[in-house]
Structures are given as C-alpha cells and as structure tokens.
Amino acid sequence: MEIVKIGSMTCTSCIIMNNVINKIKNNYSVEVRELDYDFDDIDEYHVGKILPVIIFYKDDIEIKRLEGEHSYKEIEGIINEED
C-alpha cells in the first residue's frame, strides 16, 4: 500500500496528522509520500478545501481518501482492511 499525504506548513491539522502518520510509518511497512500544498505540484490529486489530504493507493489505484484530522486507529483500520 502507498499513502500520499498532502499538507501545508500553515495548517494546524497537518501538524496533528504528521504525528499520526509518523506513528503509522514506524509500525507498518507502507510507503508514505509527503507533499506540500504550497511548494509541490499537486494538481493531479484534486485537493479540496480541507488539509491535510491523505490518499490510500493499492496497486496504483486510489482506494480511500481522508481530509482533515483522523485518528491513528482509523488509519490503522484502513491499512489492515486492505492488507
């Protein structure tokens, strides 16, 4: 599974979700690609109004997308469900 996380340095929810994603990285062997809303080219991800955006891919296909703040348990659930 691959996770793409799009955040911004000015966003409080992104700071909170960075903690969650870092914990996921430590506990699961998922590839995490971290992109910055202000600096990276993110057009292809069609980001809406809320940051961060966390997109889950399996075999290069988007299977789930989360916006804003979510718990470690919720993300862990998505990973376990798909593996």
Partner 1 sequence: MKRKVYLDYSATTMVDSSVLESVNEIVKTSYANPNSVHDLGINSKSVIDKSIENITNYFGIDKDEIIFTSGSSESNNTVIKGLIERSNRKKIITTYQEHSSIISPLSYLQSKGYIVEFVKLDSNGLVDIDDLRSKLDSNTLLVSICLVSSELGILFNTSEVFEVVKEYDKEIYTHSDITQALGKVKINLGNIDMASFSGHKIYTFKGIGGLIKKKNIKLVPLIHGGSSTTIFRSGTPSTELIYSLSCAFDLFKDSIDNKYDYVFKLNNKIRCYLSKYDDIVINSTENSIPHILNFSIIGRNSSDTQKYFNDRGIYISTKSACSSDKNMSMVVKNMYGEERAISSVRVSLSYRTTLEEVDCFLEVLKEYMNNGNS
Site residues (CB under 8 A) for partner 1, limited to 43-72: 48-51, 68
Residue selected from 15, 33, 81, 83 as contacting partner 1 according to rule CB under 8 A: 15
Would you count residue 10 as binding partner 1 (CB under 8 A)? yes
16-36 as b/e, with b when 16 or more CB fall inside 10 Å? ebeebbeebeeeeebeeeebe
Write down the H helix ranges in the chain: 12-27, 72-82
Supply the minimum distance, in Å, between the C-beta of residue 9 and partner 1: 4
Structure tokens at 77: 């659930």
State the residues that interact with partner 1 by CB under 8 A. 8-16, 18-19, 48-51, 68
